[in-house]
Copies of this chain bind each other. A is one copy, B any other.
Amino acid sequence: MSVAGLTKNQALVFDKLTAAGGPMSAYQILDNLREEGFRAPLQVYRALDKLIADGLVHKLESLNAFVACAHPEEKCGSHGLTAFAICNECGNVFEFHHHGLEHDLEHFLGAKGFKPEKTVVEIRGKCANCA
């Protein structure tokens, strides 16, 4: 389950998030790891910072929540722009990579002299099951 190169707390957070199979808030993670010895939010946020930097976890800005990457074995950053379709009914999150999108944005913003560093794309709506 775990991934090489993670410290104890990072692995605990990553495993919890992977097992959940969906988004969790930092405080939900904290409460779920109290049995494992977690006491303070910082323990969660520190682990998340590293996991996000490594591309193993993504932050969903429109939910203030975190979700395990859909393909942790490959480095997520290498796929370019990561986007999420989030169902407002069931809360399911579908992660995808859309190269056309990325290319369009780069082209459009490049023409204006803007240098993208991180791009947030989150589509809220109804998934096929809930429609």
Given A61-B61, A62-B61, are A115 and B125 also a contact pair (CB < 8 Å)?
yes
Q: State whether the Cβ of A35 lies closer than 8 Å to any Cβ in chain B.
A: no
Distance A62 CA – B120 CA, assembled complex (angstroms): 8
Nearest CB in chain B: distance from A116 CB, A: 4
Q: State whether the Cβ of A121 lies closer than 8 Å to any Cβ in chain B.
A: yes
Given A98-B108, A108-B98, are A116 and B122 also a contact pair (CB < 8 Å)?
no
Q: State whether the Cβ of A19 lies closer than 8 Å to any Cβ in chain B.
A: no
B117 contacts A88, C-beta separation under 8 Å = yes
A85 contacts B109, C-beta separation under 8 Å = yes
Which residues does chain B contribute within 8 Å of A94, judged by CB atoms? 112, 114
Residues 88-131 of A contacting B (Cβ, < 8 Å): 88, 94, 96, 98, 100-101, 104-105, 108-109, 112-128, 131
A contact set with B: CB distance below 8 Å: 61-62, 85, 87-88, 94, 96, 98, 100-101, 104-105, 108-109, 112-128, 131
